[in-house]
Amino acid sequence: MSGSIQDTFFEECEELLEATDEGLTAIEGGDHDPEVVNAIFRAVHSIKGGAGAFGLDDLVAFAHRFETVFDEVRSNRLDLDEKLIQLLLRSSDQLSALVEVARDGGEIDEAHNDTLLAALDEYIPEEEEDLTFEPMGLGGPAPMMDLGDLGGAPAEPQEETYRIRFQPLKEMYGTGNEPFFLFQALKDLGELTVTMDENELPGFDAMDMAEAYLAWDLVLVTKETRSKVEAVFEFVEGLCELSINGDGDAEAEANALAALDAMFAAPPAADAAAAPEGEAPAAPFEPPVPAPEPEAKPAAAEEKASAPKAESGKQEQRGGPKPTLRVELERVDRLINAVGELIINHSMLAQQIANLNVSDTRDVETELEGFKNLARDIQEGVMAIRAQPVKPLFQRMARIVREASAATGKTCKLVTEGENTEVDKTVIERLSDPLTHILRNAVDHGVEKPEDREAAGKSKVGEIRLSASHRSGSVCIEIKDDGAGVNRPRVKQIAIEKGLIPENAELTDGEIDNLLFAPGFSTAKEISNLSGRGVGMDVVKNAVTGLGGRINISSAPGKGSTFTIILPLTLAVMDGMVVSVADQTMVVPITSIVETMRGSDDMINSLGADGTLLSIRGNFVPICDVAGALGLYRESDQQAGVYLLVETETGQRCALAVDDIHDQRQVVIKSLDGVCGEIPGVAAATILGDGKIAMILDPESIIAASPTAAAFDTERRMSNAS
Amino acid sequence: MQAEAKQTDQEVRHAEHSEFVSFTVAGQAFCLKITQIREIRRWSPVTILPHAPADVLGVMNLRGAVIPIYDLSARFGLQQTEASERNVVIVVSVHGKPVGLLAESVSEIISINPDDIQDTPPVDSRNTMEYIQGIISHDDTMVRIINLDAVISAPEQVMP
Interval A275-287: pLDDT, tens = 444 434 444 444 4
CA distance B86 to B44: 10
pLDDT: which is higher, A153 or A455: A455
Quick one: how far is CA A589 from the chain centroid? 27
Cα angle A656, A659, A665 (rounded to 5 degrees) comes to 80
Class of domain B17-150 as given by CATH: mainly beta
CB contact under 8 A, A695 and B47: yes
Q: Residue B158's pLDDT band (boundaries 50, 70, 90)?
A: very low
- pLDDT the model gives residue A499: 78
Residues 104-143 of B with CB under 8 A from A: none
Q: What is the mean pLDDT of residues A401-409?
A: 84
- pLDDT the model gives residue A303: 43
CB contact under 8 A, A675 and B160: no
Q: What is the mean pLDDT of residues A407-416?
A: 85
Taking contacts as CB-CB distances below 8 angstroms, the residues of chain A near B158 are 676-677, 679
Three-state DSSP state, A718: helix
CA distance A495 to A518: 9
The domain A390-568 is placed in CATH, from the list 3.40.50.300, 3.30.565.10, 1.10.150.130, 3.90.1170.50, at 3.30.565.10
Q: Residue A312's pLDDT band (boundaries 50, 70, 90)?
A: very low
Q: pLDDT at residue A712 above 70?
A: no
List the single residue in A with minimal CA-CA distance to B65.
A670
Going from the C-alpha of A318 to that of each of A35, A126, A250, A293, A626, the distances in angstroms are 12, 37, 29, 8, 53
Question: A675 and chain B: CB distance < 8 Å anywhere?
Answer: yes
Q: Which amino acid is at A596?
A: T
Q: pLDDT at residue B10 above 60?
A: no
Going from the C-alpha of A671 to that of each of A428, A538, A691, B85, B88, the distances in angstroms are 18, 22, 16, 28, 25
Best residue of B57, B60, B61 to probe chain A, by most A CBs closer than 10 Å? B61
CB contact under 8 A, B52 and A676: yes
Across A64-68, B37-41, B87-91, least confident range: A64-68
CB contact under 8 A, B97 and A681: no
Going from the C-alpha of A327 to that of each of A296, A451, B156, the distances in angstroms are 31, 51, 34
Cα angle A637, A643, A646 (rounded to 5 degrees) comes to 145
CB contact under 8 A, A632 and B48: yes
Q: pLDDT at residue B21 above 90?
A: yes
Homologous superfamily (CATH) for A1-135: HPT domain (1.20.120.160)
**Under CATH, which number does the domain A573-721 receive?**
2.40.50.180
DSSP conformation class of A444: I
CA distance A365 to A358: 12
Taking contacts as CB-CB distances below 8 angstroms, the residues of chain B near A631 are 50-51, 160
Do A169 and A213 touch, CB atoms closer than 8 A? no
List Cβ neighbours of A449 (8 Å cut-off, separation of 6 or more).
A409, A410
Q: pLDDT at residue A461 above 50?
A: yes
DSSP letters spanning A445-468? IISPPHHHHHHTT--SSEEEEEEE
Q: Which of A341, A632, A675 sits opposite B59 (nearest CB)?
A: A675
Average pLDDT over chain A, rounded to an integer: 74
What's the start-to-end Cα distance of chain A, in Å?
72
Question: B62 and chain A: CB distance < 8 Å anywhere?
Answer: no
Highest averaged pLDDT of the listed ranges A14-23, A415-424, A515-524, A626-635: A415-424
Query: How near does any CA of chain A get to the CA of B110, in Å?
Result: 31
A55 — alpha (psi -120 to 50), left (phi > 0) or beta?
A: left
Question: A84 and chain B: CB distance < 8 Å anywhere?
Answer: no
CA distance A238 to A506: 72
- β-partners of residue A588 are A577
Q: What is the mean pLDDT of residues A11-16?
A: 81
Q: Residue A296's pLDDT band (boundaries 50, 70, 90)?
A: very low
Residues 347-386 of A with CB under 8 A from B: none
Query: How near does any CA of chain A get to the CA of B107, in Å?
Result: 28
CB contact under 8 A, A631 and B160: yes
List Cβ neighbours of B118 (8 Å cut-off, separation of 6 or more).
B134, B135, B136, B137
Q: What is the mean pLDDT of residues A619-637?
A: 78
Sign of the torsion formed by the C-alpha atoms of B36, B41, B47 and B51:
positive
Q: Residue A143's pLDDT band (boundaries 50, 70, 90)?
A: very low
The HSE-up count of residue A433 (CA atoms within 13 Å, CB side) is 15
Ordered by start, the domain boundaries in chain B are 17-150
Question: B47 and chain A: CB distance < 8 Å anywhere?
Answer: yes
Q: pLDDT at residue B100 above 90?
A: yes
CB contact under 8 A, B61 and A693: yes
List the single residue in A with minimal CA-CA distance to B53.
A676
DSSP letters spanning A73-128? HHTTSS---HHHHHHHHHHHHHHHHHHHHHHH-----HHHHHHHHHHHHTTS-GGG
Best residue of B44, B48, B95 to probe chain A, by most A CBs closer than 10 Å? B48
Ordered by start, the domain boundaries in chain A are 1-135, 148-290, 329-387, 390-568, 573-721
CA distance A266 to A273: 13
Homologous superfamily (CATH) for A148-290: ACT domain (3.30.70.260)
Q: Which amino acid is at B110?
A: I
- pLDDT the model gives residue A2: 46
